[in-house]
């Protein structure tokens, strides 16, 4: 698949996917969504890729949906019911390889909700993040009603969604929406440094750690979480033995 609205490159075991509509602050389109979905599937299937980074070209990360494309029936259908909208969040949350989002500038609407399923998020200190769905008479997608409260807690999630107020990367770090907040010029280098560190680790260990954490979060009790950890440890040992590690 050729890409028109994203860039894709692999170097040092890291696949970097870049939203590439800088003149529109990388405003989201259905085509962009399908390209992101394809690129992440490609990176997941590539044995040379150990970690995956998503970022934006230019000064913004993603300014939300490009409303000028809504009138196009094909674009509208992709935005409403394409693979990216329907499948990406769940698949990305359970992706075996580590995923990192480098939020290099403004992130609005889908520019925020698309990053919630990533393992780690790095934001510019002065990046403005906002989820204005309620003001637009809409509800968020991408599993936001589950993922956002998991990251920041129910009260803070509702504060962000109901007020639709913008926050800066610095506050996003304080409330747990992102894991790092750095000056804008350091966002991608920081994300790539994290990605390189992860790329140097045993991918099976990383995969089973992610599986175990997801299972522990879904467990109904602490005892079930402990049992799940034991099962995953056993499965990891078996997988490493089978792989000759």
| pLDDT of amino acid 73 | 80
SS3 label, residue 172: helix
Residues 29-47: what's their mean pLDDT? 97
| pLDDT of amino acid 153 | 97
- pLDDT of 123 higher than 80: yes
Between CA 151 and CA 143 the distance in angstroms is 12
Asked if 18 contacts 56 with a C-beta cutoff of 8 angstroms, the reply is: yes
Residues 81-107: what's their mean pLDDT? 95
Q: pLDDT averaged over the chain?
A: 95
| pLDDT of amino acid 167 | 98
Q: Which CATH architecture has domain 6-199?
A: Alpha-Beta Complex (3.90)
The values of phi and psi at residue 244, to 5°, are: 75, 30
Structure tokens at 226: 């402990």
Between CA 153 and CA 148 the distance in angstroms is 7
- pLDDT of 80 higher than 90: no
Structure tokens at 159: 């504060």
Between CA 25 and CA 61 the distance in angstroms is 7
| pLDDT of amino acid 68 | 83
- Residue 234 parent element (H or E): helix 222-242
Q: Which residues make beta-bridge pairs with 103?
A: 123
Between CA 212 and CA 226 the distance in angstroms is 10
Q: Which residues make beta-bridge pairs with 44?
A: none
| pLDDT of amino acid 1 | 76
Structure tokens at 227: 């049992």
Residues 147-168: what's their mean pLDDT? 97
CB count, 10 Å around CB of 136?
12
Between CA 19 and CA 32 the distance in angstroms is 8
- pLDDT of 23 higher than 90: yes
Residues 164-180: what's their mean pLDDT? 98
Share of the chain above pLDDT 90, in %: 90
Global pTM value:
0.94
| pLDDT of amino acid 87 | 95
Structure tokens at 200: 């140097």
């Amino acid at each position: 698949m050729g890409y028109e609205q994203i860039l894709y490159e692999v170097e040092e075991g890291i696949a970097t996917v870049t939203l590439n509509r800088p003149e529109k602050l990388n405003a989201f389109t259905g085509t962009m969504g399908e390209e992101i979905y394809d690129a992440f599937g490609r990176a997941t299937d590539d044995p040379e890729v150990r970690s995956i980074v998503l970022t934006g070209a230019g000064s913004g990360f993603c300014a939300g949906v490009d409303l000028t494309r809504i009138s196009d029936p094909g674009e509208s259908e992709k935005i409403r019911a394409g693979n990216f909208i329907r499948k990406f969040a769940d698949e990305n949350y359970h992706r075996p390889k580590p995923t990192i989002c480098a939020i290099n500038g403004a992130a609005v609407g889908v520019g925020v909700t698309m990053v919630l399923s990533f393992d780690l998020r790095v934001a510019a200190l002065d990046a403005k993040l906002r989820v204005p769905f309620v003001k637009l008479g809409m509800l968020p997608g991408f599993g936001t009603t589950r993922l956002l409260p998991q990251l920041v807690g129910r009260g803070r999630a509702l504060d962000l969604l109901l007020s639709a107020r913008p926050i800066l990367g610095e506050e996003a770090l304080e409330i747990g929406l992102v894991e790092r907040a750095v000056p804008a010029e350091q966002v991608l280098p920081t994300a790539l440094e994290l990605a390189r560190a992860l790329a140097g680790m045993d991918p099976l260990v990383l995969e089973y750690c992610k599986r175990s954490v997801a299972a522990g979060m879904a467990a109904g009790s602490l005892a079930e979480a402990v049992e799940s950890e034991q099962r995953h440890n056993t499965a990891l040992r078996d997988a490493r033995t089978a792989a000759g590690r």
